[in-house]
Amino acid sequence: MNAIGTAVMQQILAVTDELRACVRDEFEPFEGVYRLNDMGEYVSEEDWENVWADRPSWWPKAWMLADNGQFTSDEVSRMSVEEIEAAFNDPAFEPEYAYYTEADEEGRP
């Protein structure tokens, strides 16, 4: 199994700029949202999916694993796609800063 490498990891992390361009403070009540970082920036589930739509399906998983509590981006860069999928799907993976959640009844994340 081949590691994805540092160059690909950098491409994945660069998507953060596109995600941050979609940050909002208010959403529809109970709308699915993704928290991006420890600064409490959120994007809608729809914007998240649109940003990642033209990229490999494992890229958002690698993005979510990197520097999010359990793995550094350097560690993720040394993983294969299969290892990224396994780590992301492992019930023991608990993202610390970036994760999926829902807005409250007033549309606040």
Q: Residue 24 sits in which domain range?
A: 5-102
**pLDDT of res. 62:** 98
What is the Cα–Cα distance from 98 to 48, expressed in whole angstroms? Answer: 12
**pLDDT of res. 1:** 79
| Contact in structure between 1 and 80 (CB atoms under 8 Å) | yes
Would you say residue 109 lies in a domain? no
Residues lower than pLDDT 70 in the chain = none
The burial class, CB within 10 Å (0-12 / 13-18 / 19+), for 16 is: middle
**pLDDT of res. 52:** 98
**pLDDT of res. 102:** 97
Would you say residue 83 lies in a domain? yes
What is the Cα–Cα distance from 102 to 105, expressed in whole angstroms? Answer: 9
**pLDDT of res. 84:** 98
Predicted model pTM: 0.95
Q: What's the domain count of the chain?
A: 1
Would you say residue 44 lies in a domain? yes
Would you say residue 108 lies in a domain? no
